[in-house]
Structure 1
Amino acid sequence: MNHLIRRATSATVLRRPLQPLLRHTLMTLPAFSLEGKTCVVTGAGRGLGKEFLTAFAKSGARGACIDIALKNSQSSIKHITEHVQSTTSHTPELRAYACDVASEKQVQDTWESIVSDFGQVDVLVTAAGIVENFEAEKYPFDRWKKMLDVNLNGSFLFAKEAGKYWLDHGLKGNLILVSSMSSMVCVRPQKQAAYNASKAAVSLMGRSLATEWGSKGIRVNSLCPGYMKTDLIIDLLEHEGNHIEANWVKDIPMGRLAHPSELQGTIVWMASDASSYLNGSDIVSFLCPL
């Protein structure tokens, strides 16, 4: 009898691991879902903006893809749609727009078109930006002004339209400004006073807007990436020399540059109700100990 009991027990133990595997489904907090939300991303034709729009589409959101060239927006949407369809059964609703973020008129017209097309906007991410290196004493003033025009003024113009829209309609909007670790530290060896100044201004602008609009239910936060292998950085390394990357890595605790896709989870958290009490914050992907 004992022999039979042992055999039956062994058979049961062998079967048990199979049951959870057959019944298991992927689970996460429902608050992370972006279903039913419309997310607008500037600079979404490439780089981090494209990664952010991809993350939103994979999380169920509708999205507006903004780039200075319409063909870039259209190409980005095609790539994102194919990627989402290959990994899920979902076909995202995405629309392409061309806009120079430094032009107040173009920003106003683009925002009006997006609201008309989608009916409502819930999240705005200002990812449009440029970077270049000049020694401060040799910096052409027109280049300095262009840096601030795109990185700072472009972020403000879209933030202004979004804030006015949300306030006028009594909506609880969510503004995410893409800043940089360069808003907090001076990186090396590249000389980029204008870029650092523009991103520092973006971060403080974000905290200012969070203070102004927070009581109205509008959240404003900044995402401050460290060294990422974006198109901008790849172009920079090709121009300045790939040896710079090895110098950067020495100051990175994780010992490598990040891939842009590694911020997808962060941006979804910031855009979703899972971060409902996050306001006036700088989310830093890593900070070089300089």
Structure 2
Amino acid sequence: MTVENKHILITGGGSGIGAAVARLTASRGALVGVADVHSDNARDVVADIERNGGRAYAVSVDVTSAEAIADMFKVAAEKSAVLDVLINNAGVDHLPAPMHEVSDEALMRNIDVNLIGVWRCMRRAIGTMLGQGHGQIINLASVAGLRSAPMISAYSATKHAVIGLTRSTAVEYARANIRINAVCPSFVDTPMVQGVLSHMDERGRNGIIRANPMKRLGKPDEISGAIAWLCSDESSFMTGQSVVLDGGMLA
């Protein structure tokens, strides 16, 4: 599953799944761009990669800002003329609540980050990849984009949209040698999920932790391995797919 000398740009790379992917792909020889709205987190991940002999750079980005996205791609282009892989990992959720109690602000925040941010990053990356003649885009979706997700309706709606965007664009750009896939984890032990759990009672926490047949949260490293495989040429005939890593939840 070599990604040696590939240039991989990861949004939301400063923590959770994004940081795990950054560390793993850098350890396998990739040049990794760690982009995050929390610049200190991105720099910490880069420092860790470099201590272990890898190559990486940090870049600040707020994916709700078209200007910040443009600046991120400018930095990436300065690091390498070729962008092999974009991983759209940056995302937000909202506190569990019945749909009629979810505020417009929470809905729009989820749309701005989880959908419009992905759209804009994809559009920029595709422009670059068309010029170089190849590329891969991996979008972090969720099992909440493949099934019902009571109490997190706004989040679920955006993840359904990301899967639709992934499938449609994969077909549009297949002949251009640009592959586009989605990854759909269930609940993973990340700062975002822990933030949700912290606002729930014990019954609610246990319900999330034990929601799949394995009766546990996933680990970031369990998701990063699949993403690293998608980054490699071993997945060269795969596009438009939603890779599910859910401990058997959808089985």
TM-score range, shorter chain: over 0.9
Point out the more displaced range, 110-119 or 200-209: 110-119
Counting only pairs closer than 5 Å after superposition, residues 46-195 of structure 1 correspond to structure 2 as 46-82=15-51, 85=52, 91-133=53-95, 134-167=97-130, 169-187=131-149, 191-195=151-155
Amino acid at match of 1:185: R
Q: Is the Cα–Cα contact under 8 Å of residues 185 and 288 in structure 1 kept in the other structure?
A: no
Q: Which residue matches 1:10?
A: none
Q: What is the letter of the counterpart of residue 144 of structure 1?
A: L
Deviation at 1:289, TM superposition (A): 4.4
Task: Tell me the matched-pair count.
Answer: 249
| Contact 2:17/2:224 (<8 A) preserved | no
Match of 1:270 among 230, 240, 243: 230
Distance 2:210 2:194 in 1: 18
Deviation at 1:102, TM superposition (A): 1.1
TM-score normalised over the length of structure 2? 0.94
User: Bigger CA drift: 107-116 or 149-158?
Assistant: 107-116
Map of 1:157-236 to 2, 5 A cutoff?
Answer: 157-167=120-130, 169-187=131-149, 191-236=151-196
Matched, 1:40 2:40: no
Partners of 1:65 and 1:260 in 2: CA distance: 16
Provide the residue aligned with 2:243 in structure 1.
283
One-letter amino acid of the structure 2 residue matched with residue 42 of structure 1: T
Q: How far does residue 99 in structure 1 lie from its aligned partner after superposition?
A: 0.8
Deviation, 1:142, is 1.9
Contact in 2 for aligned 1:122/1:174 (Cα 8 Å): yes
Query: Partner amino acid for 1:66?
Result: A
State how far apart, in whole Å, the 1-side matches of 2:71 and 2:210 are. Answer: 45
Do 1:179 and 1:202's aligned partners in 2 also have CA atoms closer than 8 Å? yes
Tell me, yes or no, if the aligned pair for 1:251 and 1:289 is still in contact at 8 Å: no
TM normalised by structure 1 equals 0.82
Q: Percent identity?
A: 27
User: Which of structure 1's runs of 4+ aligned residues deviate more than 4 A?
Assistant: none
What CA distance in whole angstroms lies between the structure 1 residues aligned with 2:40 and 2:249?
36
Structure 2 distance, partners of 1:220, 1:157, is 15
- Give the drift of 1:77: 1.4
Contact preservation (8 Å) 1:42, 1:65: yes
Partner Cα separation in structure 2 for residue 212 and residue 159 of structure 1: 13
